[in-house]
Structure 1
Amino acid sequence: MAATKLDLREVPPADRHPKIHDAFDSLDSGETLELVNDHEPKPLFYELRAEVPEFDAEAYEVEQRGPAEFVARLPKK
């Protein structure tokens, strides 16, 4: 499965969700958006699950790699 990576740690919080939505929208079906973030993106997960039918919530994964490094995989149906 192809993945597009997006490191958000240096992006201002107000700019993150629009950037994520644009990147997710540009994916093809079956591809994954891999986010690197400074916190676990639970609010984003709930937002995508509720508002984006193409988001595959069942295949969502998140891994904590350090105190301020979380990697979330957002697959597109």
Structure 2
Amino acid sequence: MSQTAPALIDVRLLSPRERHPLIFSTFAALPPGGALELVNDHNPRPLYSQFQANWPGAFVWQDLEQGPEVWRVRISRSAPAGQCCGSCGG
């Protein structure tokens, strides 16, 4: 089974007030197992804290590139506890 490419969100050209709402709405629309790739001009650690507060245990954060000019992060949506994401056929 092939996986869908992650949604790419490059927030470097967006105003700061537009960034987090776009990231959160994109993540919320992901199916279990889906992912987004975030491209940013600074370390998104405060965003990580917000994900922990809003979606504890429901995401996987993977640093892909860590500056000094570009940060890239893959944020995947986990399957809810006790539920199959469908990729195993179960």
Q: State the one-letter code of the partner of 2:29.
A: S
Aligned residues: 75
1:44 is displaced (CA, Å) by 0.5
Q: Does 1:32 align with 2:22?
A: no
- Whole-Å Cα distance in 2 between the matches of residues 64 and 4 of structure 1? 17
Give the alignment's Cα RMSD to 1 decimal.
1.7
- Whole-Å Cα distance in 1 between the matches of residues 58 and 45 of structure 2? 14
Q: Where does the alignment leave 5 or more consecutive residues of structure 1 unmatched? A: none
Percent identity, aligned pairs only, is 33
* 1:14 counterpart residue number: 17
Q: State the one-letter code of the partner of 1:14.
A: R
The one of the two structures with greater contact order (alpha-carbon pairs below 8 A, sep at least 6) is 1
* 2:63 counterpart residue number: 62
Rg larger in structure: 2
Structure 2 length normalisation: TM-score? Answer: 0.73
Structure 1 length normalisation: TM-score? Answer: 0.84
- Whole-Å Cα distance in 2 between the matches of residues 66 and 54 of structure 1? 26
Q: Which protein is richer in helix relative to its size?
A: 1
Q: Where does the alignment leave 5 or more consecutive residues of structure 2 unmatched? A: 79-90
Map Cα deviations across residues 16-63 of structure 1 (whole Å, 9 max, x no partner). 00010111111110011110000111011011011124632xx31113
Deviating 4+ runs (over 6 angstroms)? none
